[in-house]
Amino acid sequence: MADLIDDLQWRGLIRQHTDLDKLRKELSSGPVTFYCGFDPTAPSLHHGHLVQLILMRHLQLAGHRPLALVGGATGLIGDPRMSGERTLQPREVVAGWVESLKEQISRFLDFEGENAALMVNNLEWTSELSAIDLLRDLGKFFRMGTMLSKDSVARRLSSKEGISYTEFSYQILQANDYLELYRRYGCTLETGGDDQWGNLVGGLDLIRKVEDVEVSVMTTPLITKADGTKFGKSEGGAVWLNPDMLSPYAFYQFWLNVDDADVVRFLKVFTFLDRPEIERLEKTVADAPYKREAQKTLAAEVTKLVHGEETLQRVLEATDALWGGGDLKKIDPATLSAATAELPSGKIVFGEATIVDALVAAGLEKGKRAARTTVASGGAYLNNERVENEDLIISGEDALADGTVLIRKGRRNLAVVRPVQ
């Protein structure tokens, strides 16, 4: 069996760490209880959190026990951003986001068995802290010089907006989380994104000072593209894991469009495919990049991981049907709407407009003369069926599940038309 740390390093899932030889020995000696925290700053996790969930899953599969912490308390405060103060959300909003994140996290970990995962909320112990407790029992272990040197704090201090005491105190609360989890569950490893290194080390230092115990921390790298730019914006914004915020079809398309220069690295980070399979896919990128087999595999694996096998199949069927390889009538309304959301569109009067009118209304042709030529040459399609009669009337019976009609010019030019209301 491959060494766990070696495998995580090969996958690019380890960026910074404390004593790696010590951690390697502990992970190979028996079950280690570890934790990762997720703050409810939005109603959904995104692809950056997915890296953490995948790391947690790798550790659990290797026999270690995960504690998934949802920050009901720290979410009320907000981790300092590099620029700009966070807007404090109402308590009831944060509480709702906590439940949403718990539901998402629960899909990635096993909560039964010998190394069953446990969901914890830091509001449980933080809400019991009085101001005196915070200052006497925790504050005395923190040095101002260290706290002021944190990247986010230092940058905010030198900015025009500065930083509030509220956000400045965040690092104490996160450090206390590690101490509490060590005391309650014997947790000796904290993981997180590389931008959390300072906060993670703060917890490690607190445990050393209070309990005289050496624990470990480890970060994953922040995912960037090969050109060094930030990775993770879809057409609609962030790459959310919640299907109500980013449709599974759009999610799949995001991963499908990954560049050749990035795809192998992302296969290592975001999937559980083994080394031989990833190396095989790496060869296809070099030998036959036009097939995009690596991208298709990445998109399928990540979509299945986040949204499930059934949803993946609906997305694949929609993708196939959209380009003439399947039955458009079988696609459910939500998937169909997501699949056509970025296509050119127009409006026509169903029962009166012809295929020629539809081609012009959707912007596939500039005028009716050109549209008639397209029909005559066999290049016009209605719901992927070739249309040879320029006088064909589009009726309500042609409408697909979401009420639209798919129009195609040639092989690659797609659009939709909707009825005039």
User: Greatest CA span in the chain, whole angstroms?
Assistant: 85
Question: Does the annotation place 140 within a ligand binding site?
Answer: no
Distance in angstroms (rounded) separating the CA atoms of residues 100 and 303: 19
- CB 190: neighbour CB atoms within 10 A? 30
Distance in angstroms (rounded) separating the CA atoms of residues 26 and 259: 38
For the record, the structure tokens of 346 come out as 């127009």
Please choose, from the candidates 3, 107, 4, 10, the residue with its C-alpha nearest in 3D space to the C-alpha of residue 49: 107
Distance in angstroms (rounded) separating the CA atoms of residues 416 and 348: 10
Please choose, from the candidates 390, 368, 366, 360, the residue with its C-alpha nearest in 3D space to the C-alpha of residue 378: 390
Q: Which residues of 30-54 are buried (b: 16+ CB within 10 A; e: fewer)?
A: ebbbbbbbbbbbbbbbbbbbbbbbb
Question: Does the annotation place 252 within a ligand binding site?
Answer: no
Q: Judge whether 101 and 40 are in contact, CB under 8 Å.
A: yes
The secondary structure element, H or E, covering residue 65 is strand 65-70
Q: How many CA atoms lie within 13 A of 200 on its CB side?
A: 23
Question: Does the annotation place 182 within a ligand binding site?
Answer: no
Distance in angstroms (rounded) separating the CA atoms of residues 199 and 174: 7
Q: How many CA atoms lie within 13 A of 113 on its CB side?
A: 13
User: How many residues does this entry show for the chain?
Assistant: 421
Distance in angstroms (rounded) separating the CA atoms of residues 412 and 301: 26
Q: How wide is the angle at C-alpha 383 spanned by C-alphas 371 and 326, nearest 5°? A: 140
- CB 186: neighbour CB atoms within 10 A? 11
Question: Does the annotation place 170 within a ligand binding site?
Answer: yes
Partners of 189 in the β-ladder: 34, 216
* Residue list for the binding site for ATP: 233
Q: Residues marked as binding?
A: 35, 170, 174, 233
For the annotated binding site for L-tyrosine, the residues are 35, 170, 174
